[in-house]
Structures are given as C-alpha cells and as structure tokens.
Amino acid sequence: MSDHVLERFPDCDEGIRALLEEDAIFREICADYEEIGTWLAARQEAAPPSWAEYERAREVRDELEQEIQKKLRKEGYILPLQQKGRDPGSRPSEHPAVKIHKEDV
C-alpha cells in the first residue's frame, strides 16, 4: 500500500485506492513516492548524508506529488489548490477532494 501517498492526500483515499488497482503507471509513481518518502523520513531521524542530496530528494518527492495530483485531477478527483507558502511536505488543506461526474458539469 502507499502509506505516504494516503498520508499526503487523505481526502483522496477513494481515488487513490481505485487508481492503484487499475493504473500501472499510477502504481509506479506511488511506489516511487513511497520509496522517497521512506528515505526522507529516515533522514529526519538522523543527519542527511549531504544537504544537496536531501534537497534533491525533496525535489523528486515534490515532482512525484505533482504527478499524483495531475492523475487524480485527470480522473475526476479534484484536489484543493496548494496554498501559497505551504511546505509541500505538510498536510493539505481541510477541504475534501470531490469526484465530479460528467452529468454534473
């Protein structure tokens, strides 16, 4: 399972679970996100090997987050827009994701 993904996007639980079952590319993105999230969490416990390496890992994590958000939006799961100044590793706003059906538009 993608614990880091579900922790980062708790309001998109249903969409994440559905996409994990049906979309191999999404599963791969989530697996990469899980791996980098685990690496970063371990480095929070101890000093990172180098600041540049740690920062690069955060950049990769942020890029993977964007890919996850893009896929969720494409499939009809809308995420709240990121707030200006919000750390990409912090929790999203409290607004839940909403599934939009074509007949609603």
Residue 101 has what pLDDT? 45
Q: What are the strands, taking DSSP E only, across 16-97? A: 77-78
| Average pLDDT value for residue range 24-34 | 96
The predicted model scores a pTM of 0.69
Vertex 91: Cα angle to 85 and 92 (nearest 5): 75
d(CA 92, CA 105): 25
Task: Count the domains in the chain.
Answer: 1
Domain limits for position 60: 3-104
Is there a contact between 33 and 9 (Cβ–Cβ < 8 Å)?
no
